Amino acid sequence: MFHLRCYSTLKRKTIGFIGLGQMGYPMASNLIKKFQPEGFIVHDYNKNQALNFQKEHKEAQVVDSPLEVAKRCQVIITMLPTGKHVRSVYTGENGLLQGLQPGSLVLDSSTIEPTTSKDLSSILKGKDVNMLDTPVSGGTLGAQAGTLTFMVGADSPELFEKSKEVLQHMGKNLVFCGTVGNGQIAKICNNMMLGISMIAASETMNLGVQMGMDPKLLAGILNTSTGRCWSTEVYNPCPGVLPNVPSSRGYTGGFGVSLMAKDMGLAVNIADQSKAPVTLGAVAHQIFNKVMTTKGYEDKDFSSVYKWLNSK
């Protein structure tokens, strides 16, 4: 999907990684193994998590704050759960902002409000630091396998090219989405579309099955017709239609319903800012919120909405 320039300007830099959660940990593991930077500094709010990482990767060093990461690294990746965490890591006490070196490159792979990405990028530019938003799709399996898709918002194609030198070690598809914030917008738009499609596929499959149709037959008809979508073809929510998808193993693994609910919430929020009507998006958001708080669904894949629909 892309061609690397032959030289690597970032190779000799020290890399910092903040946020070693379910996604960040395997991403950082791939990065340190494949990129083999001169130095690799890690930080997590939960220090034990960082120490565990160091146990596995001896060359990594643990520090106690984003500030210390900023002081010691010229390339920094952050992977955090919400916009609130991102703001705290960047502009809070002992945050990155207080220590960043001019000319540094900061990549935020968290999925957050695009306005936060834009605001922080603008603040960092005042310190001569380029910040790109680089949210991912592909889940924890993609993070482990290094096959994530990165949706990159950058102020120039050159900065996108530069980011690839790092991101390629964690992902397979690197997509340039335009200016800073656009990575978030692309990610959020895709996931809103996905969330609605999954509920639509669930309503449709459930309706057909309740009316007496064979699920595989129905899926086959949809998939050769105008009703087909990723959720019917690749990730069908009805058990038994496809092998090796969450619906065929009790909705375990996959993309958690609460993560989908969070992304739908972001979609509804940015839609509110621009007054773009997202009625189906808003209803889908409420449905995922209801499913994720229903006993037995808390840790399930988001396709479990199919089961929720027909559970008595």
Active-site residue set: 187
CB of 56 to a second copy, least distance (A): 30
Residue type at 219? A
CB of 229 to a second copy, least distance (A): 3
CB of 23 to a second copy, least distance (A): 16
* Smaller CB separation from a second copy, 227 or 253: 227
Say which DSSP state 153 is in.
B
Query: Strand 60-62 relative to strand 75-78: parallel, antiparallel, unpaired?
Result: unpaired
* Smaller CB separation from a second copy, 62 or 189: 189
CB of 68 to a second copy, least distance (A): 26
Instruction: Give φ, ψ of 156 to 5 degrees.
Output: -155, 155
* Smaller CB separation from a second copy, 4 or 217: 217
* Smaller CB separation from a second copy, 37 or 208: 208
Tokens 């010229």 -> residue: 74
Three-class SS of 33-98: HHHCCCEEEEECCCHHHHHHHHHHCCCEEECCCHHHHHHHCCEEEECCCCHHHHHHHHHCCCCHHH
CA-to-CA separations, 186 to 99, 237, 281, in angstroms, rounded? 30, 24, 15
